[in-house]
């Protein structure tokens, strides 16, 4: 496979060609592959994500650090490695430098993926759920690096809201303070990841990919450097049963408190708890969420290149 380097970032041939020819490209993160789903299901899921875009005529750019080199666009062997190698670490934006020097292989978080996608010239990035402010953050100061990264990267991020295990109102307040553009796709209700509605409203609703591309262009014309966050709820009939969700989450929060699980350990613990105590239902919802966001990302990427064609 031929590679194209732009500074320290290596683009796959498919991604470099698509960008050069003005064809649509969508960035995908890799922690969802390495840490989001159990093996060997995660490899199958990763291929589904990429195929969803290919079917729409969009080039997928899965992003990861391979042997210390940031890659935008992976070949099948590299996707397999991220999915199957248990020594793959989780790399956030602040970890990129050390990972490069240590020649580590790492899956990129939302923050690291957004940074590398932006460096490669990509404008659209689809993920599952965004990181945010953790419950109890007023004591712990625990807040995801995803938030500050989207405040300074002009990239459009499609997610099903912030993960429902987080403090949603505090996350929305932080996004406002950071000047991040937040729009709801065909909704004014901010989604809660597993749930179609977190119970909190947002100011702007958009009803088409073309409108989102228009907002991107308007932000560019103003010289704004922040991301456009597109909150894309699951259809109500596909969400996790709200009663089941609320009960299992409350039990998981109580359990993590009892065991003294805090900081970056809290999210993986709660997500695993949700999978176990919903009998795997939350995992299937998680896949539906990602595919739903990837499909919308493809539409937005097509609308974006359509504007400049």
CB burial of residue 9 (10 Å; 0-12, 13-18, 19+): buried
Residue among 118, 195, 119, 214 nearest 157 (CA): 118
Whole-model pTM over 0.75:
yes
Distance CA 237, CA 137 (A): 32
Tens of pLDDT, residues 44-74: 999 999 999 999 999 999 999 999 999 999 9
At 96 the pLDDT is: 96
Catalytic positions: 29, 163
Residue range 257-262: average pLDDT? 88
Distance CA 189, CA 201 (A): 4
Residue among 77, 19, 79, 22 nearest 49 (CA): 79
Distance CA 152, CA 145 (A): 11
Contact 165, 267 (CB under 8 A): yes
CA 109 to each of CA 20, 92, 112, 200: distance values in angstroms, whole numbers, following the listed order:
26, 5, 5, 25
Residue 234 half-sphere exposure, CB side, CA atoms within 13 Å? Answer: 25
When pLDDT is cut at 50, 70 and 90, the band that residue 176 belongs to is very high
Strands (E), the chain: 3-6, 9-12, 25-28, 59-66, 69-72, 89-91, 106-108, 124-126, 156-159, 181-185, 189-192, 195-201, 204-206, 228-231
Tens of pLDDT, residues 125-155: 999 888 878 676 666 667 777 887 888 999 9
At 279 the pLDDT is: 93
Distance CA 195, CA 263 (A): 24
Residue range 186-208: average pLDDT? 96
Beta strands 59-66 and 106-108: pairing type?
antiparallel
């Amino acid at each position: 496979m031929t590679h194209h380097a732009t500074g320290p970032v290596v683009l796959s041939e498919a991604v470099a060609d698509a960008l050069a020819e003005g064809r649509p490209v969508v960035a995908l993160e890799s922690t969802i592959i390495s840490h989001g789903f159990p093996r060997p299901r995660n490899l199958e899921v990763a291929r589904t994500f990429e195929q969803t875009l290919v079917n729409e005529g969009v080039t997928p750019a899965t992003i990861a650090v391979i042997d210390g080199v940031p890659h935008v666009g992976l070949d099948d062997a590299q996707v397999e490695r991220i999915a199957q190698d248990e020594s793959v670490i989780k790399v956030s934006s602040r970890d990129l430098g050390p990972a490069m020097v240590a020649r580590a292989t790492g899956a990129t978080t939302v923050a690291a993926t957004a940074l590398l996608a932006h460096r490669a010239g990509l404008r659209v990035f689809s993920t599952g759920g965004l990181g945010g402010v953790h419950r109890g953050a007023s004591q712990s100061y625990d807040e995801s690096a995803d938030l500050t990264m989207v405040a300074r990267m002009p990239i459009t991020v499609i997610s099903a809201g912030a993960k429902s295990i987080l403090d949603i109102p505090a996350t929305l307040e932080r996004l406002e303070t950071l000047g991040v553009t937040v729009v709801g796709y065909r909704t004014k209700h901010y989604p809660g990841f597993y749930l179609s509605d977190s119970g909190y409203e947002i100011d702007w609703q958009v009803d088409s990919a073309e409108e989102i591309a228009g907002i991107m262009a308007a932000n560019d014309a103003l010289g704004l450097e922040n991301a456009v966050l597109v909150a894309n709820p699951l259809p109500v009939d596909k969400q996790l049963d709200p009663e089941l969700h609320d009960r299992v989450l409350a039990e998981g929060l109580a359990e993590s408190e009892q065991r003294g699980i805090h900081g970056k350990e809290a999210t993986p613990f709660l997500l695993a708890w949700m999978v176990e105590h919903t009998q795997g239902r939350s995992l299937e919802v998680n896949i539906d969420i990602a595919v739903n966001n990837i499909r919308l990302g493809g539409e937005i990427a097509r609308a974006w290149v359509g504007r400049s064609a």
